[in-house]
């Protein structure tokens, strides 16, 4: 009798748990269009923006736990809760790996998050941000005010243009190029092509560094391998590193690092630099550790 009662109570507890997790009153946003075996739900309170620009569908939600959330073409771009991991690692790794990064180009990044991190470096004299969709900048300035002030910095020049066409104007000019692009779909496809990276190589100075959003090592292994092979052909150094971002697919996002001169070793220059203030994710120790990859990721590059 006791065993039957115990099983009954266990069943009731399980049913209550399932009701709590999947109750319809919990308004969960899912990236429904992806083909990943696992998807992440973010509990939203309301949709505050929803429209189509000339390039993509733009949505902004207020969420229960993650602050405001920007979604482009159904894919989460950032939340106020966990964006620091992505923006700090895509910006500070290359900037602290270069002895004198004076001119920086950000391709994409219209939300301003990467820009705000780049501007924390006082040795940066000029930042050019090239965003194809001006509506992303407008919406982000409204709903992510912590980043909007970066656009008024006197060092910043914001350009509304196709990054692939824009970069062809430059040769031996930028010390750092950051490709803060969305997934390789729609208008961002060209930002992952071999032709584009050849133009990046030409636009960089002799000791220039490029870092680009490198997708999830769990879900995009073939793409990562293809990009790494391409970068090794073009650059003296090519590497991959990652950060933990809970609202991105698999909770992990990677970055492609390539440089004409500098291997990804922060110890070379960090001692002579002042570490930016108000960091939430990046540390010098993590800088090195992020390039130490699990076996399954290392196998991609063999």
DSSP 249-291: GGGEEEEEEEESS--S-GGGTGGGSPPPSS-SS--HHHHHHTT
* CB-based contact 118:154 (threshold 8 Å): no
Confidence at residue 34, expressed as pLDDT on a 0 to 100 scale = 72
Same domain? For 236 and 142 the reply is yes
| Average of per-residue pLDDT values in the chain | 88
Residues in the chain: 302
Domain closes at, from 22, 57, 79: 79
DSSP H or E stretch at residue 240? strand 237-244
Calculated CA dihedral for residues 44, 50, 53, 56, nearest 10 degrees: 40
Same domain? For 251 and 151 the reply is yes
Q: Which of 73, 82, 180, 199 is catalytic?
A: 180
Mean pLDDT computed over 203-213: 97
Same domain? For 67 and 169 the reply is no
Same domain? For 163 and 227 the reply is yes
Domain closes at, from 36, 56, 79: 79
* CB-based contact 186:73 (threshold 8 Å): yes
Phi then psi for 166, rounded to 5 degrees? -60, -40
Q: Any alpha helices (H) in the chain, and if so which ranges?
A: 2-22, 83-95, 113-118, 134-143, 145-148, 163-166, 194-203, 221-234, 284-289, 295-298
Domain closes at, from 55, 79, 103: 79
| Predicted confidence band of residue 25 (pLDDT cuts 50, 70, 90) | confident
The CATH number assigned to the domain holding 41 equals 2.30.140.10
Same domain? For 63 and 94 the reply is no
Question: Against a cut of 0.85, is the pTM above it?
Answer: yes
Same domain? For 234 and 157 the reply is yes
Q: Measure the CA–CA gap between 170 and 234, rounded to whole angstroms.
A: 17
CA 252 centroid distance within chain = 10
- Domain hosting 39: range is 2-79
The CATH number assigned to the domain holding 177 equals 3.40.50.150
| Predicted confidence band of residue 11 (pLDDT cuts 50, 70, 90) | very low
Phi then psi for 185, rounded to 5 degrees? -140, 155
Q: Please, what is the Cα angle at 70 between 135 and 241, to 5 degrees?
A: 110
Same domain? For 173 and 37 the reply is no
Same domain? For 47 and 180 the reply is no
* CB-based contact 258:237 (threshold 8 Å): yes
The count of structural domains within the chain is 2
SS3 191: helix
Same domain? For 50 and 103 the reply is no
| Predicted confidence band of residue 266 (pLDDT cuts 50, 70, 90) | low
Same domain? For 32 and 72 the reply is yes
Confidence at residue 166, expressed as pLDDT on a 0 to 100 scale = 96
Is 180 among the catalytic positions? yes
Same domain? For 140 and 203 the reply is yes
| Predicted confidence band of residue 191 (pLDDT cuts 50, 70, 90) | low
Same domain? For 185 and 267 the reply is yes
Which has the higher per-residue pLDDT, 128 or 297?
128
- Check whether 151 has a pLDDT greater than 50: yes
- Check whether 256 has a pLDDT greater than 90: yes
| Predicted confidence band of residue 20 (pLDDT cuts 50, 70, 90) | very low
């Amino acid at each position: 009798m006791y065993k039957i009662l115990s099983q009954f109570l266990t069943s009731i507890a399980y049913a209550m748990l399932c009701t709590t997790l999947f109750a319809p009153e919990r308004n969960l946003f899912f990236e429904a269009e992806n083909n990943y075996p696992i998807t992440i739900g973010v509990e939203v309170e309301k949709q505050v923006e929803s429209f189509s620009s000339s390039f993509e569908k733009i949505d902004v939600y207020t969420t229960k736990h993650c602050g405001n959330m920007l979604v482009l073409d159904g894919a989460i771009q950032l939340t106020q809760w966990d964006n620091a991991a992505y923006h700090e690692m895509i910006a500070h790794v290359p900037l602290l790996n270069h002895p004198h990064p004076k001119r920086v180009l950000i391709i994409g990044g219209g939300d301003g998050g990467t820009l705000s991190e780049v501007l924390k470096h006082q040795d940066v004299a000029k930042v050019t941000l090239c965003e194809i969709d001006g509506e992303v900048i407008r919406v982000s300035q409204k709903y992510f005010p912590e980043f909007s002030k970066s656009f008024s910095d006197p060092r910043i020049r914001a350009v509304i243009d196709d990054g692939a066409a824009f970069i062809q104007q430059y040769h031996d000019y930028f010390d750092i190029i950051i490709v803060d692009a969305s997934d390789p779909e729609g208008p961002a496809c060209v930002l992952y092509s071999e032709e584009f990276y050849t133009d990046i190589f030409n636009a960089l100075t002799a000791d220039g560094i490029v870092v680009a959003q490198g997708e999830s090592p769990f879900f995009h292994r073939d793409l990562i391998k293809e990009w790494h092979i391409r970068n090794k052909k073009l650059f003296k150094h090519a590497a991959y590193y990652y950060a933990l971002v809970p609202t991105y697919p698999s909770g992990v996002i990677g970055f492609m690092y390539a440089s004409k001169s500098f291997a990804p070793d922060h110890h070379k220059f960090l001692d002579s630099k002042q570490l930016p203030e108000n960091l939430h994710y990046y540390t010098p120790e993590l800088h090195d550790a992020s390039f130490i990859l699990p076996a399954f990721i290392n196998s991609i590059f063999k």
